[in-house]
Amino acid sequence: MKNLITIAVDAMGGDGSPRKIIEGIKHHCQEKKNIFYRIFGNKDDIQKYIPKNFNSNNFEITHTSEKVTGDDSPLGAAKKGKNTSMWLAIESVKEKKSDIVISAGNTGALLVIAKLNLKMIENIDKPALSGLWPSKKGMSVVLDLGANIECSDKNLIDFSIMGSSLFKSLYPNEKPKVALLNIGSEEVKGNEIIKQTYQKLNQVENEDFEFKGFIEGSHLMDGEVNVIVADGFTGNVALKTAEGTANFITNELKKTMTSSLLGKISTLLNIRNLKKFKEKLDPRLYNGAIFIGLDSPVVKSHGGTDHIGFSNSLSVCEKIVKGNLIEKIKKNIG
């Protein structure tokens, strides 16, 4: 494996860019000596936020004044041409000048431009959008989160293999345990596609992961499985529901703890436990969706995150490259 990891960064996507992007890079590289950042965007805007003591050997800026906006449709973004910061960043990976690409920009545009530039891994029909979710026992990989509304049983089996490969790349000391997200845990529950997928996965002995059957939405955070597979419609609904529930709990707890003198005193007495609770639900820790199935990895940082969240996404990029994700998928899919 190469000692130097090169990350292609679209510096112009998402809220507060390029400032948060550069501050995220600065935060990420504080203790990293083997990362090179290939930054794409408006050089004049980017230079404003690069500190004077930032080592110029750690980055390179490719100037372009064109960018994909949040209002662009995926097709409209692609029609803007090959000079947007997003397109150039993905092209850098295509040309093997970078190992991985990251953007906090328009999700639909990123997926379309990535598919236009990068080839599919052989024997995979559809790429999937995967994400990291917290659980009682650590972290889980969940996919597909919206790239494919309709999926065949082969697609879901491919997602199981790709998700397991991703989990193993991020957490090499743990064995992937796969489950299919369903309306019940019994074999007879669900539509024909998910039941067919269950039967096929149940019949195959796979050294790369352990198949655990079905899982219901109420058990996603239990930690008994760490790779959760669904079609894009189901996965996206589950994601939005989980995000909304977490926000509701956090906001209601904050109201309760600050609405009265007794609540404020209780907050002071439980400050340590409340801090742990807040950290557990901090979305910045789980920032970074991964588009897998293409022959190069593409990471999507949440557009509304801050520089800490973007830095965490850069850490995901680093782990994916070090964990040889693409090589794992190619080996396992075969």
Q: What is the pLDDT of residue 204?
A: 76
Q: What is the pLDDT of residue 286?
A: 65
16-27: burial string, b at 16+ Cβ within 10 Å, e else: ebbebbbbbbbb
User: What CATH number should be reported for the domain whose range is 125-292?
Assistant: 3.40.718.10
Torsional sign, CA 224, 230, 233, 236: positive
Measured distance CA(231)–CA(273) in Å, rounded: 37
Beta strands 128-135 and 289-292, pairing class: antiparallel
DSSP 233: H
How many other CB atoms sit within 10 Å of the CB of residue 272? Answer: 8
Q: What is the pLDDT of residue 37?
A: 95
132-153: burial string, b at 16+ Cβ within 10 Å, e else: bbbbeeebbbbbbbbbbeebeb
Q: What is the pLDDT of residue 251?
A: 73
Asked if residues 160 and 200 have their Cβ atoms less than 8 Å apart, the reply is no
Measured distance CA(68)–CA(74) in Å, rounded: 9
Helix 107-117 with 85-94: angle, nearest 10 deg? 40
Measured distance CA(124)–CA(156) in Å, rounded: 11
How many other CB atoms sit within 10 Å of the CB of residue 322? Answer: 16
Assigned CATH topology for domain 1-122+293-323 = Isopropylmalate Dehydrogenase (3.40.718)
Calculate the alpha carbon distances from 46 to 20, 41, 149, 255, 302 in Å.
10, 7, 37, 39, 20
Q: What is the pLDDT of residue 43?
A: 95
Measured distance CA(113)–CA(111) in Å, rounded: 6
Measured distance CA(260)–CA(285) in Å, rounded: 31
Q: Which two tokens stand for residue 326?
A: 């693409």
DSSP-assigned letters across all residues of 158-174: HHHHHHHHHHHHH-TTS
Q: Is there a shared CATH topology between the 1-122+293-323 domain and the 125-292 domain?
A: yes
Q: Which helix (H) or strand (E) holds 330?
A: helix 325-333
pTM over 0.95: no
Beta strands 177-181 and 227-229, pairing class: parallel
Q: What is the pLDDT of residue 243?
A: 73
Per-residue pLDDT of the chain (334 residues; tens, 9 = 90+): 457 999 999 999 999 999 999 999 999 988 667 899 999 999 999 999 998 878 778 899 999 999 999 998 989 999 888 999 999 999 999 999 999 999 999 999 999 999 999 999 999 999 999 998 888 888 899 999 988 999 999 999 999 999 999 999 999 999 999 999 999 888 888 889 999 999 999 887 777 889 999 999 889 888 899 999 999 999 888 888 877 777 787 777 777 667 676 656 666 656 666 566 556 556 666 677 899 999 999 999 988 889 999 999 999 999 999 999 999 999 988 7
Strands (E) across 200-267 are located at 210-215, 227-229
Q: Of 50, 2, 59, whose CA–CA distance to 22 is shortest?
A: 50
The one-letter amino acid at 27: H
Q: Where are the domains of the chain?
A: 1-122+293-323, 125-292
Q: What is the pLDDT of residue 278?
A: 59
Write down the H helix ranges in 67-106: 74-79, 85-94
